Chain A
Amino acid sequence: MRFIFKTDYNQDIRLFKHGGAVFWYALLIVALIAAPLVLDRYLMSQATFVFIYAIAGIGLMLLSGYTGQISLGHAAFFAVGSYTEAILLEKGFPFLLSLPISGLLAGAVGVVIGLPALRLAGIYLAIATLAFAFIVEEILARWESVTNGTLGMLVEPINIFGVELFREWHLYYVCLAVLVLVVLGAVNLLRSPTGRAMIAIRDSEIAAQSMGVNLAKYKTIAFAISAAVTGLAGALYAHRLGYISPEAYTILLSVEFLLLIVVGGLGSIHGAVFGAIFVIVLPQIVSILKGYMPSQIAEQTGIDAGIFGLVIVLFMLYEPLGLYGRWVKIKLYFSTFPMYRKATFKRQKSYTKTERLR
């Protein structure tokens, strides 16, 4: 077991709680930087997808996992990011400008979509955001003068200060860098008043309000940040695909994002990253599984979506803390061995236990 003796409030505030954590995160970063040396093109592109999904996942996590506002429309913010990026590059904007603009525009759309969220909750909000996603999908297909409709658009390669970054490993590093920045921003947000206000709204709107949290303001902020981060991921996704068209941004993508945060573990940034890995790996597992299914079942349309849905339900029932929760439990098991108690993560029945444990 690790006991940390604290001597300073800064110790609770700072990013890494102890020297060991600094070491492991540093090692992870070094490994990720070195990885392109050993990964083949295919694995590198899968890793890039993981980074992009992790960024989008953090976006949705901030809104649903931390603020408690469900969204089935995040494919739309993702699409706004992608198309803005493609269109701006076509108009000759440099990447270092087009990327932030893509995020900001998606964020602005998020503010507009956040407006009904001030009045709706739960399933109604899910339906409203779902409707919004359908509208965006439709606009992408119909607004041909700008989006080129169903024919889609080619995405020009990243260009930083005149240097064209078109290789697989270029994009890998760009996405990794954006992911690291997004993680840092999210963690900072969560250890400051804005993040606490979001969590407060998730757990009790009435108490949050009575302690001074302006619900409308913070829900709008959460929608804006979430949409902006997802928009950034969308912009990178456009580069990863090289060619974008409306069918890349369907409701299935929104469901994938939802699957990502639920499986990863709601209310955790680690969870968004774990979930991204899972969502990228899952379709490959599914396609392997399909090999064993009778072809009448394997070839049904919607079987993928069905499996995603099933996975969401199973996680909600059996591992509500997600993969990250499972990881924490395993870690605790080893660090407290042989004293780990199965009940460690059980909720106490608060009404039956009123004595204070001193």
Chain B
Amino acid sequence: MSLFAVEQLGISFGGLRAVDQISFEVEAGEVFTIIGPNGAGKTTTFNLVSRIYDPTDGRITFDGEDITRVPPHRIAGMGIARTFQNIELFDNATVLANLLLGRHAHASTGVVSNMLFLPHVRRAEIAHREKVEEVIDFLDLQAYRETLVSGLPYGVRKVVELGRALASEPKLLLLDEPSSGLNTEETDDMAFWIGDIQKDLGITVLMIEHDMNLVGRVSDRVLALNYGRAIAMGTPDEVQSHPEVVKAYLGG
């Protein structure tokens, strides 16, 4: 059985069918990419998976469980982490604090013991910190630990956001346009990291991406959306040359 699946998923905003009966499955270990012109419903699909929106119809399953009605704050704990198209970091906190918040789904200490900072809270904090340091090493963020996010260049923020998602030790990672706003060198780094995330960390990746070069480099399979509907699915090459896809991008 596949790790993640959506079946006949759909949502309407007023009269607009932003996502219209789409179905796909993501196998454990693959990089699965969603492409499509602006407004195709890609981000909305992510928001449905994150449970920020309630689908009007359809089903989402993950790891053998139906998550269609799971509250949004429980998603991270189940093993799904995400990044946002327009970076959603905690701007007035340090990089370290941002990454540590990525551990929240694994934080189990209570408010009162937090206030007293009891020994088990300290032990848990050190364990979280060790995990965060692994992420810092993985993404080369050593120089920024104590820097406030608001003072960071755009490219670094994207990496910090990726790091925050990784800190939660997800099984499935959702990346919304990981290369948007990055220069070529930074996009290159991103491509390597996505490869490493898949191969070294064994995390399944579901990604939205516009840069077809990056898509071709890292994706195992690609799904193309247009006006909320799935129009093609297959290898990057197959989808890119699919007549419907060509037409959609030409504005047909």
Residues of A near any B CB (own CB < 8 A): 9-10, 12-13, 185, 188-189, 191-197, 199-200, 202-204, 206-215, 221, 225, 267, 347-348, 350-351, 353-358
Contacts and interface: CB of A to CB of B under 8 A. Distances in A.
Contacts of A210: 50, 52, 72, 75-76, 81-82, 88
Contacts of B126: 9-10, 13
A354 B92 contact: no
Given A188-B114, A197-B101, A204-B90, 7 more contacts: A211-B76, A211-B81, A211-B105, A212-B73, A347-B151, A354-B183, A356-B155
Contacts of A354: 153-155, 181-183, 186
A214 B73 contact: yes
18 contacts: A185-B116, A188-B116, A188-B117, A192-B125, A193-B103, A193-B114, A196-B101, A200-B101, A204-B90, A207-B88, A207-B90, A210-B82, A211-B101, A211-B164, A348-B153, A351-B181, A355-B183, A356-B156
Lowest 3 CB-CB distances: which A-B pairs, in order? A212-B105, A212-B76, A193-B107
Interface in B143-172: 143, 150-157, 164, 168
B81 A357 contact: no
B90 A212 contact: no
Nearest to A9: B129
Contacts of A199: 90, 92-93, 97, 101
B129 A211 contact: no
B1 interface: no
B109 interface: yes
Given A188-B117, A354-B186, A267 B92 contact: yes
B125 A191 contact: yes
A204 B83 CA distance: 13
Contacts of A212: 73-77, 104-105, 168
A209 B90 contact: no
A185 B151 CA distance: 29
Given A347-B150, A350-B154, A197 B72 contact: no
Nearest to A10: B126
A194 B111 contact: yes
A13 B102 CA distance: 17
B97 A207 contact: no
A321 to B, nearest CB: 10
B13 to A, nearest CB: 17
A195 to B, nearest CB: 7
A209 B73 CA distance: 5
B193 interface: no
A211 B181 contact: no
B130 to A, nearest CB: 7
B100 interface: yes
B183 A193 contact: no
How big is chain B's contact interface, by range?
35 or more
A348 B157 CA distance: 12
Contact of B114 (A195, A200, A203, A215): A195
Nearest to B146: A12
B122 interface: yes
B168 A206 contact: no
A194 B152 contact: no
A209 B75 CA distance: 9
Contacts of A197: 101, 104
A290 B133 CA distance: 57
Q: Which of A185, A192, A206, A214 has the most CB of B within 10 A?
A: A192
A107 B103 CA distance: 28
A194 B114 contact: yes
Contacts of B24: none
Q: Which of A197, A209, A214 has the most CB of B within 10 A?
A: A209
B154 A351 contact: yes
A209 B154 contact: no
A240 B122 CA distance: 37
Given A9-B129, A196-B97, A203 B181 contact: no
A289 B71 CA distance: 56
Contacts of B129: 9, 12-13
Contacts of B156: 356-357
Nearest to A192: B114
Contacts of B227: none
Nearest to B143: A358
A221 B103 CA distance: 19
B168 A211 contact: yes
B16 interface: no
A351 B181 CA distance: 8
Given A197-B101, A200-B101, A214-B73, A206 B114 contact: no
Given A211-B102, A214-B73, A353 B153 contact: yes
A258 B111 CA distance: 25
